[in-house]
Amino acid sequence: MTSVDDLLNAAATETVPLFEYLEFQLLREYDVFTPSKRERTRVHQPPDLFRGFLHCYYENVYGTRPVTRELRHSLVWYYCGLDKPPLRDTIDRFLTELEQVVDDILNRLVEQAAARGLLDSTYSIDSTHVGVIQYNDTAPWDYNPTAEEHHYGLGCTILSTGSKIPIAAEFTQNKQADQETAMRVTRDALAVDTPT
């Protein structure tokens, strides 16, 4: 099953450049987004709201109220293709409708990304330990479950390209990097135009 994380990680890009490469009009094909005869015309179209949803997900913004707040920022709603910020009820209704078809939509978007060559770049992220002399009071003792041994030193999270060129790294107190560190190293790596 494809998730939003899979799509964003596979495309290895931030959302605004991703919006330029993918065709979101496919959302118009789903009956779930077609208003009934009793409903008024939609002010915000599903493709634009979906871009807003992807942006919010990328920024770790979840829930109807936080998404509504995030989409009030003028640059955000503009880059998502919205004419103005959507209301909370609009966001709530859209997310309820999207829930029914999101897996299929994400699968189709990943297929688009692959067809347009967005999935060719392969990035690898891994953490390792760097041993230090034991009087270094900034380093702790840590356990490496892979090697089944304790070691004294710092952790190092490295992100490299498919050709194994390291393009971003960060030292940590432990070998295992937390999600925040991994995202920070990934953002640093994505800022590199052409690794050499």
Instruction: Reply yes or no on whether the pLDDT at 54 is more than 70.
Output: yes
Mean pLDDT over residues 43-60, rounded? Answer: 84
Which of 58, 57, 56 lies closest to 72 in space, CA to CA?
A: 56
Q: How far apart are CA 96 and CA 101, in angstroms?
A: 10
**Predicted pLDDT of residue 109:** 83
What stretches of the chain show up as alpha helix (H) in DSSP? 4-11, 15-21, 46-58, 64-70, 74-79, 88-115, 179-190
Instruction: Reply yes or no on whether the pLDDT at 12 is more than 50.
Output: no
Vertex 169, ends 165 and 175: CA angle to 5°?
A: 115
**Predicted pLDDT of residue 42:** 72
**Predicted pLDDT of residue 1:** 41
**Predicted pLDDT of residue 106:** 83
pLDDT digits (tens, 9 = 90+) for 74-111: 778 888 888 888 888 888 888 888 888 888 888 888 78
State the amino acid at position 123 in one-letter form: Y
Tokens describing residue 112: 């688009």
**Predicted pLDDT of residue 152:** 63
